[in-house]
Amino acid sequence: MSLKFTLLGFLNYGPQTGYDLKKHMDNSTQFFWHAHLGQIYPTLKKMLADGFVQSVDVPQDGKPDKKVYAITEKGSAAFLKWLEDPIIQLTPTKDLGLLHFFFSGILEKEKILEHLSFSLTLHRKRLFEYQHETAAYVQGIIKETGLEREGMLWELSRQFGEAYERTYVKYLEDTMEVIRNKMKERS
């Protein structure tokens, strides 16, 4: 359901192919909302059947035609209604690394630290991506489109991701310190 609104949100900025939509998601919302092409195309097909989008086939030299999707009035109305309705409950999140850690008490101390170290590397990498690649992408899209108001929200969303990763990195560093100093070896 939310993928539909994600796609409508991006199409609200202008017509795009499924590949374009995937690219924009990968460079902007991927850390809090993502999808694979195998999810995007079937969702677009259903949205087309439901009248939320329309499409045109654009010929390409030496390649199959590409399908460009655009939001319809019905799609715009549904998207606006979705935006206007407040979020009234938190959605549960899933964190495989934290779940893995939660049950790791049966492992040796060094193995737990090894896993945490690997997780720390991944979160530092994601933090770097937020600080550099995603920041540059967001600024580039703002300049390209001139959407200053929307761009402010994109940048604030990016800043949330950066703050989240910074917090996660600190948590992992602190957790590793506690385990190093306070966890007893398995007997």
Below-50 pLDDT ranges, the chain: none
Q: Which two tokens stand for residue 154?
A: 């994109």
CATH class (in words) of the domain with range 2-84 = mainly alpha
**Residues 175 and 116 sit within 8 Å (Cβ to Cβ):** yes
Cα 7 from chain centre: 13
Measured CA to CA, the distance from residue 28 to residue 20 in angstroms comes to: 12
| pLDDT tens-digit readout, 12-22 | 999 999 999 99
Helix ranges, 18-132 (H): 18-28, 37-50, 73-84, 96-102, 109-129
The pLDDT of residue 1? 65
- The pTM score is 0.85
Single-letter amino acid, residue 183? M
| CA-based end-to-end distance of the chain | 49
